[in-house]
Amino acid sequence: MIRSTQYPRHPWHRRPACESLWHRRPACESLWHRRPACESLWHRRPACEDHRRDAGATNRGGFTLVELLVVMLVLSILASTVLFAMFGAQERARKARTQSTINKINAIIMPMYQAFQLRRAPIITAGMDAKTGAFVRLQALRELMKIEMPDRFTDITLEPSIIRGRTSRSREYLRRLNQIASSSGKTRLQTYEGAECLYLIITMSTSDNAGRDNFSEQEVGDVDEDGMLEFLDGWGHPISFIRWPAGFASPLQPFDKELGFRAGDDWGQGDVYHDWKNSHDPFDTRKLEPKAYAIYPLIYSNGGDDIADIRSFVKDKRDEDPYPVIGSGRNRRIDPYMLDSGDGPIGRQQDFDDDGANWHDNIHNHQLKADLK
């Protein structure tokens, strides 16, 4: 085997200045022609300092390991930056879409809710003194809200007991429930019942289906596949509904520790108090219930984590109606604040699944702070 170090590269007469190599070449030209063709061997030849320097400046053809690592690091940083930006943009788009859907629902629900203030209650108050009549009327209004703005199936299926029979709207809801069950052949599931009741309310709010036409196909689905549709948020999860979220803390339902009234025993957020003095229940115009504070329907998305950490039913009693008619005769009443419940009112935010607070990324209509009061 002939060592490449003895045979500088062609053309020989353009030899480098390295004289030591030049002088060590074999005299025999035949040997020169037998030099290895492999260029890599040639590059590994020893050389004088001048020659090595020249070769380093002109013949270097690759990257060092450090250079490759640096390039790979830079590329990975660039890639992660681009991916992060794309993910951020996608999340912002989902939030915006969710907000848009909730705004549309809110625009129908809030006027409907406020209209109850002017509603004639279907009861007879003849023979009652003014105060008793006002009390009975307040309770009748609450029952009207319950059956015409349902947030659970029992609001539709149970017979009202303060007002005289069902209203035409509540009869429509019941008819629709039965019709969906018979046409789909599916059994209604309590899962997402708030969202499913909300869909009923919105889509049946007008006789010409305008309520449904405001929403795209993407905004409607049946996540639990029980035949009952729901409005969906930007992540494809049902948008929930609580008619009386008395335990909810929000700009619309402010707390005031000094003036307020403690409405729950353990909220997971310290003792909190609703400001019933400055924000009294607008349906109770005579302030018959001094500590009744204003509550507003809550329309909410769980956010990207798909966990609300908002209580929407009586603890451990999901099947139970949290707002039964209590008392008898003229003292019959419905309590949206669940004052007699040791568990506190519905709508309160708490870490129910012990994995940290999940309500901060929720998107809801109380955030609007619009002139809804």
Q: Which positions touch Ca ion (CB under 5 A)?
A: 189, 191-192, 222, 224, 226, 228, 302-303, 305, 307, 309, 351, 353, 355, 358, 361-362
Q: How far is CA 356 from the centre of its chain?
A: 16
Cβ 325 to Ca ion, closest distance in Å? 25
225 vs 271 by CB, closer to Ca ion = 225
Cβ 285 to Ca ion, closest distance in Å? 36
Q: Are 266 and 227 in contact (CB under 8 A)?
A: no
Burial category of 59 from C-beta neighbours within 10 Å (exposed 0-12, middle 13-18, buried 19 and up): exposed
Q: Are 224 and 192 in contact (CB under 8 A)?
A: yes
Return the closest-CA partner of residue 297 out of 78, 69, 145, 75.
145
45 vs 212 by CB, closer to Ca ion = 212
289 vs 309 by CB, closer to Ca ion = 309
Question: How far is Cα 61 from Cα 41, in angstroms, rounded to an integer?
Answer: 14
- Where residue 327 falls (left for φ over 0; alpha for ψ -120 to 50; beta otherwise) is left
253 vs 350 by CB, closer to Ca ion = 350
Cβ 361 to Ca ion, closest distance in Å? 5
219 vs 309 by CB, closer to Ca ion = 309
Cβ 310 to Ca ion, closest distance in Å? 9
In the bound complex, which residue of the shown chain has the CB atom lying closest to Ca ion?
303
Q: Are 291 and 332 in contact (CB under 8 A)?
A: no
Cβ 307 to Ca ion, closest distance in Å? 5
Cβ 97 to Ca ion, closest distance in Å? 16
The neighbour count for residue 296, using CB atoms within 10 Å, is 23
Give the strands of the sheet with 240-242, arranged side by side.
240-242, 298-301, 363-364
222 vs 343 by CB, closer to Ca ion = 222
Question: How far is Cα 368 from Cα 280, in angstroms, rounded to an integer?
Answer: 20
Cβ 225 to Ca ion, closest distance in Å? 7
Name the pairing type of β-strands 261-262 and 273-274: antiparallel
213 vs 355 by CB, closer to Ca ion = 355
Question: How far is Cα 276 from Cα 129, in angstroms, rounded to an integer?
Answer: 26
- Tell me which residue has tokens 């009207």: 144
